[in-house]
């Protein structure tokens, strides 16, 4: 008789735990952590339609001080799929009324939840919250800093597409608003760990200061940057973070940096076209390429997002080593 999906997950996990108690950044993740997250995510993906009871009697709150479509729905559905009780708070009224992030987080922590999924428009806020709550904090995007689950799901998409365990012979070209992108923040840290060659192509004004310190090759000509790339990763111009002041007009930006068929053809034949969403069609990427083109992996990224978030929620809310956090009270 074939094994229950739950048992297959337990077997794959083999008693392993993550070295971290929160997921704020990809920086502290060890090679073993990354392998563990992906081993489990792949198994969850195999049982896409099965409802698991692995996190039964555990609850989580999505605390989204900044808007979200896919990250919030993906975490929420991932938690529900593991039989967690979930609730979501978006653009919290308590903060508008003058309560601090820490007080709001400690209030939610008092419900004895196992995880707080936190998004803020300020960099560093989820790390600060993590020190003050017992629940595991998963950073769902903090300002311009990091978006670790996005980078993890992106890495899984690339590794599985090429059927490899690292990115040592892979060129990843990232095009767009690097300066304001927390996706870039996590991606550059994770992809460097995995051994990728990372190229960035952007107007000089949309590059962070000291971009050369990130371990990337900088290009101002997108066509040069795309040559032979294995991954073409487009980033949105983040108007809500003031990017419009850094480019002449979106139309001109798009003409110089938008991904078109002709530009994509400069990359490797098997190159993946990726984008974290939301896509601005005909600005970041030509409309015909977004979902219809066979090189586009944009919807595959979303599918892998669910699998990676299930993996993290199971690992962080259900530890074998019994490790817990101390919460600093103010």
Alpha-carbon torsion angle 99, 100, 103, 107, nearest 10: 60
Least distance (Å) from ligand ASP to the CB of residue 283? Answer: 12
Is 183 or 190 the residue whose CB approaches ligand ASP more closely?
A: 183
Q: Sign (positive/negative) of CA torsion 108, 113, 119, 125?
A: positive
Single residue of 158, 183, 198, 274 touching ligand ASP by CB under 6 A? 183
Other Cβ atoms within 10 Å of 223 Cβ, number: 12
Do 177 and 233 touch, CB atoms closer than 8 A? no
- Angle 66-144-272 (CA atoms, 0-180°, nearest 5)? 100
Nearer to ligand ASP by C-beta: 182 or 189? Answer: 182
Task: Tell which one of 16, 256, 277, 318 touches ligand ASP (CB under 6 A).
Answer: 277
Q: Are 223 and 266 in contact (CB under 8 A)?
A: yes
Per CB under 6 A, which of residues 123..182 are in contact with ligand ASP? Answer: 141, 147, 182
Options 43, 145, 189, 236; binder of ligand ASP; rule CB under 6 A: 236
Counting contacts by CB under 6 A, is residue 309 touching ligand ASP? no
- Enter the DSSP assignment of 18: -
Closest CA to 184 of 275, 260, 122, 257: 275
Q: Which is nearer to ligand ASP, 101 or 314 (CB)?
A: 101
CB of 142 to ligand ASP, least distance (A): 10
Structure tokens at 31: 């090679």
Closer CB to ligand ASP, 124 or 277, in the complex:
277
Q: Do 59 and 85 touch, CB atoms closer than 8 A? A: yes
Counting contacts by CB under 6 A, is residue 5 touching ligand ASP?
A: no
Query: Judged by CB under 6 A, does residue 208 bind ligand ASP?
Result: no
Specify the residue, 61 or 187, whose C-beta has the smaller distance to ligand ASP. 187
* Cβ closest to ligand ASP, residue 42 vs residue 70: 70
Q: How far is the CB of 110 from ligand ASP (least distance, A)?
A: 28
* Unique residue bearing structure tokens 């939610």: 108
Rule CB under 6 A: say whether 297 interacts with ligand ASP. Answer: no
Q: Which of 208, 197, 203 is nearest to 172 (CA)?
A: 197
189 binds ligand ASP (CB under 6 A): no
Residues between 87 and 116 with contacts to ligand ASP, criterion CB under 6 A: none
In the structure encoding, which two tokens stand for residue 53, read together? Answer: 């009871």
For position 280 contacting ligand ASP by CB under 6 A, the verdict is no
Alpha carbon distances (Å) from 87 to 119, 173, 283: 14, 37, 35
- We find the least distance from the C-beta atom of residue 136 to ligand ASP, in angstroms, to be 20
Q: Under rule CB under 6 A, how many of the chain's residues touch ligand ASP?
A: 7
Q: Is the N-terminal amide bond of 309 cis, ω within 30° of 0?
A: no
The footprint of ligand ASP (CB under 6 A) covers 141, 147, 182-183, 236, 276-277
């Amino acid at each position: 008789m074939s094994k229950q999906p739950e048992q297959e997950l337990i077997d794959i996990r083999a008693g392993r735990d993550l070295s971290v108690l929160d997921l704020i950044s990809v920086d502290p993740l060890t090679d073993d952590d990354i392998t563990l997250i992906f081993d489990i995510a792949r198994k969850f993906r195999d049982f896409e339609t099965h409802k698991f009871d692995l996190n039964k009697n555990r609850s989580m709150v999505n605390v989204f001080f900044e808007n979200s479509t896919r990250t919030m729905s993906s975490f929420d559905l991932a938690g529900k799929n593991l039989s967690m009780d979930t609730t979501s708070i978006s653009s919290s009224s308590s903060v508008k009324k003058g309560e601090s992030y820490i007080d709001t987080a400690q209030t939610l922590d008092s419900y004895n939840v196992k995880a707080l999924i936190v998004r803020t428009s300020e960099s560093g806020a989820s790390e600060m919250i993590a020190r003050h709550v017992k629940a595991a904090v998963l950073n769902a995007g903090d300002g311009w800093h990091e978006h670790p689950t996005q980078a993890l799901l992106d890495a899984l998409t690339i590794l599985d597409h090429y059927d490899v365990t690292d990115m040592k012979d892979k060129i990843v070209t990232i095009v767009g608003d690097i300066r304001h992108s927390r996706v870039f923040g996590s991606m550059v840290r994770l992809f460097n760990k995995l051994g990728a060659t990372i190229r960035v192509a952007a107007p000089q004004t949309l590059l962070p200061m000291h971009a050369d310190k990130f371990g990337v090759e900088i290009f101002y000509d997108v066509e040069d940057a795309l040559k032979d790339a294995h991954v073409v990763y487009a980033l949105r111009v983040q108007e809500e973070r003031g990017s419009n002041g850094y480019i002449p007009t979106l139309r001109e930006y798009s003409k110089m940096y938008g991904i078109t068929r002709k530009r994509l053809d400069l990359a490797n034949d098997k190159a993946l076209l990726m984008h974290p969403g939301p896509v601005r069609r005909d600005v970041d990427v030509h409309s015909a390429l977004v979902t219809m083109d066979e090189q586009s992996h944009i919807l595959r990224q979303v599918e892998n997002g669910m699998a990676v978030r299930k993996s993290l929620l199971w690992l962080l809310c259900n530890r074998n080593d019994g490790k817990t956090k101390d919460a600093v009270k103010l």
